[in-house]
Amino acid sequence: MKRITIFSLLLILGLTGCAETPNDENLNQTTVETNTDYQNTEDDYNAEGVYDPFEGFNRAMWTVNYDYLDPYIARPVSLAYVDYVPSPVRSGIRNFLSNLDEPASIINSLIMLDGEQAVTHFNRFWINSTFGLFGLIDIATAADIRKPGDRAFGDSMGYHGVGNGPYFMVPMYGPVTLREGVGDTVDGLYFPLNLLTFWQSLGKWAFEGMEDRAALVSQEPLLKDSPDPYVFTRDAYIQNKNFRATGGKSIEEEPADEEYLDEFLDEVDDY
């Protein structure tokens, strides 16, 4: 799904939330108590760059996602897709959709001053588009031109010092920051993503989401064992975005729960 629609909704919700100040007498008492309950837990993570001004709303959306939408819709649908769709068909779909992102990665690699990776993305795109049936077959990898991590405009902004901005939890969609929302909108303007209709973009999002969700099944115990799954997911997400914004270089500050986050981040970064 094109994130511009969701992103516009988030901006409206954000402006509504900004109308309330901490001193507002009408501030919801339940939200205050909830934030107090989790204050000590959040201090244990302390991931750099976390800005969660709408935590009360985000926690409510997390409950919708984690307790209802994921176990009853996203997880079973994703596992059924992986279990019952033939592997060659899934591989072809995955390769084709991945190839569509290569031009955006070329431009963003250049913005991040990484000419070598830009050339790699360029070579992969023209080889797979020409000889791989528009990307259905990953000829480039077979030729030992392996795909580096995708580069998004949100990563490029982070590389040049733009912060993550407010963090949002969107129903069925998952976490997103202001920087990522803007970045994905810009990436959608690049060829060939700009040629996709709304329904084609929705299909791309759905297929990629099913692959990603199925791949994270093995990491579910990490989430269940964490003191606060919401904070764990939020900080792992921000930590991953911080890492991507460095161009794949290590960052000095690590979250306190490194033993939980390392494996989770590795799995997310692979997809």
- The pLDDT, as a whole number, for residue 263 is 55
- The pLDDT, as a whole number, for residue 261 is 53
Cα–Cα distance for residue pair 100/117, rounded to 1 Å = 16
Q: What six digits make up the tokens of 249?
A: 């270089």
Residue 24: which pLDDT band, with cuts at 50, 70 and 90?
A: very low
What stretch of H or E contains 68?
A: none
**Overall average pLDDT of the 65-74 stretch:** 94
Q: How many CB atoms lie within 10 A of CB 38?
A: 16
What stretch of H or E contains 116?
A: helix 115-131
Between these two residues, 247 and 206, which has the higher pLDDT value? 206
Q: Is the model's pLDDT at 188 over the cut of 50?
A: yes
* Least confident range of 40-54, 117-131, 179-193, 240-254: 40-54
Between these two residues, 77 and 5, which has the higher pLDDT value? 77
Residue 248: which pLDDT band, with cuts at 50, 70 and 90?
A: confident
Cα–Cα distance for residue pair 178/181, rounded to 1 Å = 5
Question: DSSP class of residue 227?
Answer: S
Note the maximum CA span of the chain: 65
pTM over 0.75: no
What residue type is assigned to position 259 of the chain? E
Do the Cβ atoms of 98 and 147 come closer than 8 Å?
yes
Render pLDDT for 83-121 as a digit per residue (tens, 0 to 9).
999 999 999 999 999 999 999 999 999 999 999 999 999
Q: Is the model's pLDDT at 4 over the cut of 70?
A: no
Beta-carbon contacts of residue 244 (< 8 Å; ≥ 6 apart): 149, 151, 152, 155, 158, 269
> What sign for the dihedral angle of Cα 222, 225, 229, 234?
negative
Cα–Cα distance for residue pair 70/73, rounded to 1 Å = 5
Q: Is the model's pLDDT at 43 over the cut of 90?
A: no
Q: What six digits make up the tokens of 233?
A: 């997911």
**Overall average pLDDT of the 120-133 stretch:** 96
Render pLDDT for 131-178 as a digit per residue (tens, 0 to 9).
999 999 999 999 999 999 899 999 999 999 999 999 999 988 899 999
**Overall average pLDDT of the 234-243 stretch:** 94
**Overall average pLDDT of the 184-206 stretch:** 94
- The pLDDT, as a whole number, for residue 19 is 35
> Apex CA 174: angle with CA 103 and CA 222, to 5°?
110
Do the Cβ atoms of 172 and 125 come closer than 8 Å?
no
- The pLDDT, as a whole number, for residue 18 is 39
